[in-house]
Structure 1
């Protein structure tokens, strides 16, 4: 299970308990630069090949040759790429609140509302943007008052510059142009869950996902849930993942 920004492995606490209780083996990683994971210096250390290598290493460390990969936000972006670039190691893919890159780039180019919603990413791509971040501010989104101190502690251990390397290396840059067909289609089953109140990644980017997936696509939209749908609708997300997982 792969988290996004700004987050760490603990975001999956509800789903981990439900999945483990159902008999599944679960591993949730801190991405590079976050919490207890290493934060190698330089943007070059955050290329997609390195990030995919981290996912492969976690799977092998668990003694497995493949896994179902679940990702949210940047973890979802990595998971989409893992499904097309390391297909031999993924049995199924679940992505939360991160549309396929082809859908996102189309919306950035053609939808003014998505352009405005992504204004923060353009700030993050500026030189020195990480200097404006702090742990307390990054944890403000956490509505669970008991969990928030854990987030502050995790972010104090994290590398803010590393966090923003993901945006500098992988988020589309202006001028935005709709992408052509992806080089490779996703062949495994896909579960896509999207909180409809996400102010950053609007649901219009979900349109056309079926054009980039050859496997069976299951799309679940969640009214009333925001960007962090795995916490906003924790029980529903856990139930949907359990109902979808291949037995």
Structure 2
């Protein structure tokens, strides 16, 4: 990891922390919640060793990047604006993009708004469903899952933060990164996000105490508000994206998901992916990979395999 270069870049009115390594065509990695550039550490080393310039920012609100105070400063259009400016700062006209979780959502919107900047996209875990013409996303989640769904619990500013502040950050990170069961989506208020302070979580082989400490140290400095604000802007994103209703994704795409990923088991998602709905919204979808025995954080759980999949796809362009 010591060979990865870190620098601060002024973009779109804020400063982003960027980790990068290598020379050649740029591969832009976009992380999710509650993560950092560090989630792509394995792919940065792998792709930079195969002739690419791997670039992974901490998104606004995360890590060493700026954390604007207003919730409204975390719309997907702000975040996409950051990345457009970052791409221009790299001195290139196009990049390959790889996104995961919220990073996948950002990547879909980057490709929707500025497809001219993207050679090809590899997205992990979160499919592109497009903008529903009538229903706001928060209303849809409530209708299906009720008030105790974690995204609904995240909506009120300060509430989740107060819960998180009462829990050891390392324990929180362990719980977030190792959850597997569908019931993890539902967080009753009487139970809370952390559970018992005496909970012992055995780490899987792909996640070390050193990794947990890196995440926890960064979130102890910034708090979780920046990351939570992405969820709080979901209805705003829906309103702002009205001009892009029915707009397809017009770049070559490879999609990857773990068969144990909760996103893969959301109602209707598997039929959507495998029975044509996804390919209609993403007409240049070239490949769907469902990885067996893998949960949500597949780029960390199966780093070599994911790196190989990324390389085998982007080398064609």
TM-score interval, smaller chain? 0.7 to 0.9
Uncovered stretches (5+) of structure 1, i.e. residues with no partner: 173-180
1:123 aligns with 2:187: no
1:161 aligns with 2:225: yes
Q: Paired residue for 1:199?
A: 262
More strand by share: 2
1:60 aligns with 2:88: yes
Which entry has the higher C-alpha Rg, 1 or 2? 2
Using a 3 Å threshold, how does the CA distance of structure 1 residues 13 and 171 change in structure 2: closer, same or farther?
A: farther
- Structure with more contact order per residue of length (Cα contacts < 8 Å, sep ≥ 6): 1
Using a 3 Å threshold, how does the CA distance of structure 1 residues 120 and 200 change in structure 2: closer, same or farther?
A: farther
TM superposition score normalised by structure 1 = 0.86
Assess if the C-alpha contact under 8 Å between 1:138 and 1:155 holds in 2.
no
Shift of residue 103 of structure 1?
A: 9.6
Assess if the C-alpha contact under 8 Å between 1:125 and 1:167 holds in 2.
yes
Pick from 52, 56, 75 the counterpart of residue 24 of structure 1.
52
Alpha-carbon distance in 1 for matches of 2:310, 2:155: 33
Shift of residue 110 of structure 1?
A: 9.0
Using a 3 Å threshold, how does the CA distance of structure 1 residues 64 and 221 change in structure 2: closer, same or farther?
A: same
Uncovered stretches (5+) of structure 2, i.e. residues with no partner: 1-28, 179-202, 237-243
Q: Paired residue for 2:125?
A: 97
Ranges of 4+ aligned residues in structure 1 off by more than 6 Å: 107-112
Alpha-carbon distance in 1 for matches of 2:258, 2:230: 22
Partner SS state of residue 27, structure 1? strand
Using a 3 Å threshold, how does the CA distance of structure 1 residues 81 and 111 change in structure 2: closer, same or farther?
A: closer
1:108-119 correspondence runs (5 A): 115=145, 119=149
1:8 aligns with 2:36: yes
Q: Paired residue for 2:247?
A: 184
Pick from 140, 158, 173 the counterpart of residue 139 of structure 1.
173
Task: Report the RMSD for the aligned CA atoms in angstroms.
Answer: 3.0
